[in-house]
Structure 1
Amino acid sequence: MPELPEVEALRAFLDAHLVGKEIARVLPVAISVLKTYDPPLGTVEGAEVTAVGRHGKYLDLTTTGTAGELHLLIHLARTGWLRWQDPLPSGPPKPGRGPLALRTALTGGDGFDLTEFGTTKRLSVHLVHDPREVPGVARLGPDPLAEDFGPEEFAALLAGERRQIKGALRDQRLIAGIGNAYSDEILHAARMSPFKPTGNLTPEETASLYAAMRATLREAVERSRGLAAGKLKSEKKSGLRVHGRTGAPCPVCGDTVREVSFSDSSLQYCPTCQTGGRTLADRRLSRLLK
């Protein structure tokens, strides 16, 4: 799933390629992709893209046209992606079983496709007057890289939590933009077990976790800066230290990276760096083996 660093890189890429250009058509191909009907999607035809923003994992394309200011909100979900094309293929896209979900064509002949692989279709597009009309945006917690989100604000958020730290970091209502991959990376950098209860964190551990979160995300954003949209996936994978690296040596200590599997996801961690050398039981609601 694209997370904050990749979505921020896509935002910067689209800011350089879209702002100031005019939308010719927005063509939904998959019936499931469009989540709003008022205003109609055709309202943005002829509108100019005036800004590209980000809310957590949502991209926000601001357009200005005859209907005033509108926002095209895009959430790529788990298997969605954005593919820039210059020029776009001639002729309208054909609905079918392929990954193409939506095409946005510009009057200059270029544009982008939204694609989604797999059978579970969660990629979403909303056209709204205000981003807060989208429930997922309205519920978002603070952005972890925001200038006004300091260690005190982070500690205050965690103070009322009574759950495992891995789940807290992934909760978009608590902190926006962090998913499965970067929560693993942050916890590895903080040398902290993914199952440590938030209520057990000392002030020193909370400060360390905040520093690890900011550093991990900033480093990932910097690695992605300036890359074309098509290269972001491979860059993300190459920069991960533990996530998706089950069985590989930890780049910090050399211990073997381990995995805990769940019904629809998995996490990776280093026993030496994070759990005092102990192995986590590979089952839901895992506890440290004794």
Structure 2
Amino acid sequence: MPELPEVEALAHHLREHAAGRVVHRVDVVSLQVLKTVLPPWTELHGRTVTGAGRHGKHLDLDCDGLHLVVHLARAGWLRWSDTLAAPPPKQGRGPLALRAHLGPPGAGPGFDLTEAGTKKGLAAWIVRDPAEVPGVARLGPDALSIGRARLGELFAGRSDRLKTALTDQTLIAGLGNAYSDEVLHVARLSPYATAGRLPADALDRLHEALTGVLTDAVSRSVGQDAARLKGEKRSGLRVHARTGLPCPVCGDTVREVSFADRAFQYCPTCQTGGEPLADRRTSRFLR
């Protein structure tokens, strides 16, 4: 799933390549991707792209006051092309969901919104104010804007696990499964630690790791071609998606806890005092 660094890099790419261009045509290939009816997508036609930004993990393309807000979900992506084919794509079951021509069709650039797999979660809204998007309206403070004191306030009194708290978008916006694993590893904290019971030194490490991991990932991602962002993300990961490989810090084997539709990874030596977490039901190692 694209998270804060990748979405920030995509927004930067659009600011560099799309700003100042006119939306000549939008082809909606999958009607289910659009979560709004009014304004219609045709109202984007003829508008100039005036900016691009990010709200948590939501991408926001500003077309002269009308916003195309996109959540890429687990398997969605934005693919830029310097020249898009002129004929409108046929509706079907392929990965293409929406195409935006930012120049005369067949002669100008633009982008495709695509989604791999059969489980569809890619969503787009056309709104006059991004706050009209329910997911944006519910967002907590952006992960890169949170100071140490504010982080302590956000976690105070919470009884959920630290991994759960970090990925709750209403609490902290921008972190997903991958970068929360990375932050916890750098902070040397268990995913199962109770968010509201962290001592001051643990909160210090968590804030430093949160800022450092995301800042580094953004700096590596911004300026990359959109097609290379996924590879750049994978190359910078220490524990996430590295089950069975050695931890780059201590050499211990990276372990995994699996759930029905996702999994997280961690290093026992660095994060749980050498004790492996059996699974979400049986492990009693909480700190």
Kindly provide the CA deviation profile for residues 179-224 of structure 1, in whole angstroms up to 9, marking residues without a partner as x: 0000000000000000000122011111210110000000101111
Mapping 1:229-248, distance limit 5 Å: 229-248=226-245
TM-score normalised by length of structure 1: 0.95
Mapping 1:66-77, distance limit 5 Å: 69-77=65-73
How far, CA to CA, are the matches of 2:251 and 2:241 in structure 1?
16
Structure 2 counterpart of 1:23, one-letter code: V
Task: Give the aligned partner of residue 126 of structure 2.
Answer: 127
Q: Percent identity?
A: 59
Task: Give the aligned partner of residue 116 of structure 1.
Answer: 115
| 3-state SS of 1:23 partner | coil
Task: Give the aligned partner of residue 137 of structure 1.
Answer: 136
Kindly provide the CA deviation profile for residues 75-132 of structure 1, in whole angstroms up to 9, marking residues without a partner as x: 1000000000110023111111210010001125110000001111110110001000
How far, CA to CA, are the matches of 1:285 and 1:193 in structure 2?
15
**CA RMSD after TM alignment:** 1.2
Task: Give the aligned partner of residue 210 of structure 1.
Answer: 207
How far, CA to CA, are the matches of 1:59 and 1:286 in structure 2?
37
How far, CA to CA, are the matches of 2:143 and 2:48 in structure 1?
30
How far, CA to CA, are the matches of 1:97 and 1:72 in structure 2?
23
Corresponding pairs, count: 283
Worse-superposed segment, 5-14 or 101-110: 101-110
How far, CA to CA, are the matches of 2:217 and 2:284 in structure 1?
30
Contact (CA 8 Å) 1:76, 1:123: kept in 2 or not?
yes
Q: Quote the offset at 1:28 in angstroms.
A: 1.1
Kindly provide the CA deviation profile for residues 47-74 of structure 1, in whole angstroms up to 9, marking residues without a partner as x: 001010100001111111xxxx211101
Q: Which runs of 5+ in 1 are unaligned?
A: none
Task: Give the aligned partner of residue 225 of structure 1.
Answer: 222
| 3-state SS of 1:273 partner | helix
Counterpart selection for 1:270 from 267, 272, 285: 267
How far, CA to CA, are the matches of 2:32 and 2:119 in structure 1?
10
| 3-state SS of 2:114 partner | strand
Q: Quote the offset at 1:283 in angstroms.
A: 4.4
2:189 maps to 1:196: no
| 3-state SS of 2:78 partner | strand
Q: Quote the offset at 1:141 in angstroms.
A: 0.4
Residues 197/84 of structure 1: CA separation in 2 closer, same or farther (3 Å cut): same
Q: Any runs of at least 4 consecutive aligned residues in structure 1 with deviations exceeding 6 A, and if so which?
A: none
2:171 maps to 1:174: yes
How far, CA to CA, are the matches of 1:100 and 1:204 in structure 2?
47
| 3-state SS of 2:101 partner | strand
Task: Give the aligned partner of residue 24 of structure 1.
Answer: 24
Contact (CA 8 Å) 1:32, 1:121: kept in 2 or not?
no
How far, CA to CA, are the matches of 1:280 and 1:254 in structure 2?
18
2:61 maps to 1:87: no
2:246 maps to 1:249: yes
Q: Which runs of 5+ in 2 are unaligned?
A: none
Q: Quote the offset at 1:282 in angstroms.
A: 2.9
| 3-state SS of 2:49 partner | strand
Task: Give the aligned partner of residue 61 of structure 2.
Answer: 61
